[in-house]
Amino acid sequence: MLAKTPFIPDKPILIVCGHFGSGKTCVSVALALALKKSGKNVTLVDLDIVNPYFRAADAAELMKANGINCINPEFANTNVDIPSLGAEIHSVFVNAERDPDSVTILDVGGDSGAAALGRYRQMIERAGYNMLFVASKYRPLTDTASAALENLREIEYYSRLRCTHVVNNSNIGDETTQTYVENALDFGRELSELSGLPEAFTSVVKADFCPALAEKYPDKSFFFIDNTTRKLF
Amino acid sequence: MSNKVLMKGNEALAEAAIRNGCLHFFGYPITPQTELAEYMAKRMPKVGGLCLQAESEVAAINMVLGAAATGTRAMTSSSSPGVSLKSEGISYMVGCDLPCLICNVQRGGPGLGGIQPSQQDYYQATKANGHGDLHLYVLAPASVQEMVNLVGRAFDVADTYRTPAMILADGALGQMMEPVDFDAALSEKREIPEKTWATNGTGMKRKRNVINSLYMNPDDLEQSIIDRFERYKKIEENETLWEELYTEDADIVIVSYGITSRICKSAIEMARAEGIKVGLIRPITVWPYPKAAIAKAAETAKQFLVVELNMGQMVDDVKVACECRRPVSFFGRTGGVLPTADDILAEIKKLNGGL
């Protein structure tokens, strides 16, 4: 079901950041699976210290079944909101030096939640990183390219790191149609132009119209991402 | 194509409030409600409104009191422990006949409890949110879109009857993301009586208005309460809302509200597929309570099953509404744990076998 990876990082650390609710976790999980399939040794780190419920730690079983190493905050999905990140995270920077095939995806909390990156900034810079900024036109506070750029700069400010790519993840969840995706293509292009950063890919939350999109827009890279945070209702 | 956006329940509550003319928000952060205040902080300056993080929940509700006294649409939000702190101020607002909107995005209690979703504040919201003879108009939405639809109604009812209104949500609704259409929600407009009581300046043209909940004379206090209860009666008559599903032929009628009702709907479809006649009454207002719907269902249904995220706080309301003519049983999880549709189906089968 999962597409081939649309994005091959050229550095061992792959940071996924963005406005909260922009789809960072779904993008992270999908990328982890795709990169694993392409032969990388993948570690997924849930660095979200702001979101109490829906998070990468929810996908722990799926990750484990696919041979992906997971590192979660000590109190993720418990009844307390203590944003404590374990010492285990340091191991990924050791791996980055030792194993040329390793990729570590850091799934970061939304907006100011990116401050958690600041604590690892020196190690991230030493290891080398790509930083994907995930944005959705259908999130009201980032509904224009300029609003999204403002959010991108805010995240760079909090993390003290620089974004390297943008990801257009414009969707409205289960009700997304092909038209919704097409109507947001300009948004992704404008954000790329305004920020001066290349578009890594356009993610699509439904597999059924991915082929049609790829045929209609051959110069674009579309990537199917499953909704891994879907719950009981 | 409809004009939908993807929002967290907490954000949607904030945006809906702004679109319904709320320009004053006073709050204090608490999980799982904080995104509401965060959204207000970002949006209010852009629409010429005010979002203020108070030094405490007690301060926030009293700022709402002050703002509402001037006739503006004011709002606060919190989660369970924070709403307990606001109770005193809420009672004062009732005593002053001031409209406002309070959102409770419930978490597990008692005490500090936990951050996972819960419906443990049903008693508090419907029976005792503050001291004194009082009711609040309490709405319990079941989706992000319904939250948006009900915010306007909550403000309208609050203004029309001069009462605080409450949106009783829970952590799951506050945190989950669903597509919403704001334009669809704004279609229903009603006439709001002019706020001649507001302390917004006399302009040297009228006597000054006084907003106060203290009465020197017991007879005056009694009369003010009697007048207020006349308004509560009108709210009961005109503003009670509920949804029914398959009640016409149901042997078992589930009564459930908010997020839990959605899990019940899945369980009901599963039971129906197996030939078990189950229906649903979903109170949308939990005060006033849809007594008439329960009483009517009691004429044909054999029994009721209440499903909530608490230890059965709504059971007595169902018993009273059906005058104990039918057995009322309970199934629920508490402390931040959610039942699955399979859990509820198992309970339905147990009851069905016992008939």
pLDDT for B355 beyond 70 = no
Question: Cβ(A68)–Cβ(A56) under 8 Å?
Answer: no
C-alpha B137/C-alpha B208 separation (Å) is 29
Q: Across chain B, what does the average pLDDT equal? A: 96
pLDDT top residue among A173 and A231: A173
Task: Looking at the structure, tell me whether residues B299 and B226 fall in a common domain.
Answer: no
* Helix, strand, coil fractions of chain B, as percent rounded to 5: 45, 20, 35
Mean pLDDT value of segment B124-144: 96
pLDDT for A1 beyond 50 = no
Q: A20 at the B interface (CB within 8 A)?
A: yes
What SS3 state is found at B140?
coil
Which pLDDT belongs to residue B174?
96
Range of the domain at B84: 5-238
Question: Cβ(B242)–Cβ(B285) under 8 Å?
Answer: yes
Chains A–B, number of C-beta pairs less than 8 Å apart: 77
Q: A140 at the B interface (CB within 8 A)?
A: yes
pLDDT for B308 beyond 50 = yes
pLDDT for A227 beyond 80 = no
Q: Which of B212, B238, B264 is the last residue of a domain?
A: B238
The helix (H) or strand (E) run that includes residue B22 is strand B22-27
CATH label of the domain that carries residue B39: 3.40.50.970
- For A13-77+86-224, the fitting CATH number among 4.10.640.10, 1.25.40.20, 3.40.50.300, 3.40.50.150 is 3.40.50.300
Q: In B, residues 3-32, which contact A (CB 8 Å cutoff)?
A: 4-8, 11, 15, 31-32
Chain A residues near residue B338 by CB distance under 8 angstroms:
232
Task: Looking at the structure, tell me whether residues B219 and B287 fall in a common domain.
Answer: no
- Using CA coordinates, name the residue in chain B closest to A111: B38
C-alpha A34/C-alpha A1 separation (Å) is 10
Cα distance from B286 to chain A (closest Cα, Å)?
21
Mean pLDDT value of segment A132-159: 97
pLDDT, one tens digit per residue, over B180-195 is: 999 887 666 789 999 9
CA-nearest of B91, B96, B169, B175 to B134 is B91
Task: Looking at the structure, tell me whether residues B74 and B204 fall in a common domain.
Answer: yes
Q: State whether the Cα torsion B112-B258-B293-B235 is positive or negative.
A: positive
Task: Looking at the structure, tell me whether residues B203 and B215 fall in a common domain.
Answer: yes
Mean pLDDT value of segment A40-45: 95
CATH label of the domain that carries residue B252: 3.40.50.920
Interchain proximity A136–B6, CB inside 8 Å? yes
Return the DSSP state at A190: H
Which pLDDT belongs to residue B128?
84
Q: Which of B238, B270, B301 is the last residue of a domain?
A: B238
Interchain proximity B172–A140, CB inside 8 Å? no
Q: A133 at the B interface (CB within 8 A)?
A: no
Instruction: Place A80 in a pLDDT band, splitting at 50, 70 and 90.
Output: confident
Q: A75 at the B interface (CB within 8 A)?
A: no
ipTM: 0.89
Task: Looking at the structure, tell me whether residues B249 and B195 fall in a common domain.
Answer: no
Q: Which of B238, B254, B272 is the last residue of a domain?
A: B238
CA-nearest of B38, B115, B42, B50 to B81 is B115
Instruction: Place A4 in a pLDDT band, splitting at 50, 70 and 90.
Output: low
Question: Cβ(B169)–Cβ(B258) under 8 Å?
Answer: yes
Task: Looking at the structure, tell me whether residues B42 and B126 fall in a common domain.
Answer: yes
Interchain proximity A232–B8, CB inside 8 Å? no
Q: Which of B80, B177, B264 to mutate to test the interface with A (most CBs of A within 10 A)?
A: B177
Instruction: Place A2 in a pLDDT band, splitting at 50, 70 and 90.
Output: very low
Interchain proximity B259–A138, CB inside 8 Å? no
In chain B, the number of structural domains is 2
Q: A232 at the B interface (CB within 8 A)?
A: yes
Q: Across chain A, what does the average pLDDT equal? A: 90
